[in-house]
Amino acid sequence: MRVALLGSGRGSNAEAVLRAQKDGRLSKAEVVGIYCDIPTAPMLQLGPKFGVPAFYLDPGPFKTKFSPEQEAFWADTLKQHRVDLVVLAGFMRVVKAPLLEPFAGRIINLHPTLLPEFPGLDGIGQTWRANVPEGGCTVHWVTAEVDGGKHLGQARVTREASDSLESFAQKIHQAEHALLPKVIAELAQKFPQL
């Protein structure tokens, strides 16, 4: 199963997937490319570090979505690279029809809350401000509804009295780094019947 990692920032979740691949935990999956919408994002440096091609692709003029033409360009690029599974790992753009349609049922997202609670931006901050006893993360199929697709896995994180927002966020990030490679490995076992 050929995997594309899409992101916009540091790439810590992409790095967790690449480490899992290096350690042999993704036996039936292969990351074939890192694709980023920010030309200066540290995520792009993971390419040379792990021997995986890394690409900056122009997303168009908008901050949180694609222009339709550029989204079609991204989809065409992923098709040319024969990608089977698209993984949104810290990708800060809403995905719409030009990418959703050619990869229907083959795009997953990692969200830093226990969906359906706290969808959208700043999930960890939303969870923290709600003062709930636990947070966590969810991997789900991507659909036209933001953070609304069927769940593939969740990891729970207890909020301790001693936690600060920073320590709570760090625990959620650790849970993300374990959950995302696990879900990709599980999907690879089922491929091509996703």
| Side-chain-side CA neighbours of residue 73 (13 Å) | 13
Torsion angles phi and psi, residue 111, rounded to 5: -120, 135
Residue positions counted in the chain: 194
Measure the CA–CA gap between 84 and 30, rounded to whole angstroms: 10
- Inter-residue contact 153 to 138 (CB < 8 Å): yes
- Inter-residue contact 57 to 81 (CB < 8 Å): no
Measure the CA–CA gap between 57 and 21, rounded to whole angstroms: 24
Q: Which of 111, 140, 173, 177 is catalytic?
A: 111
Residue 111 catalytic? yes
- Inter-residue contact 4 to 85 (CB < 8 Å): yes
Residue entry with tokens 């959703």: 100
Active site amino acids = 111
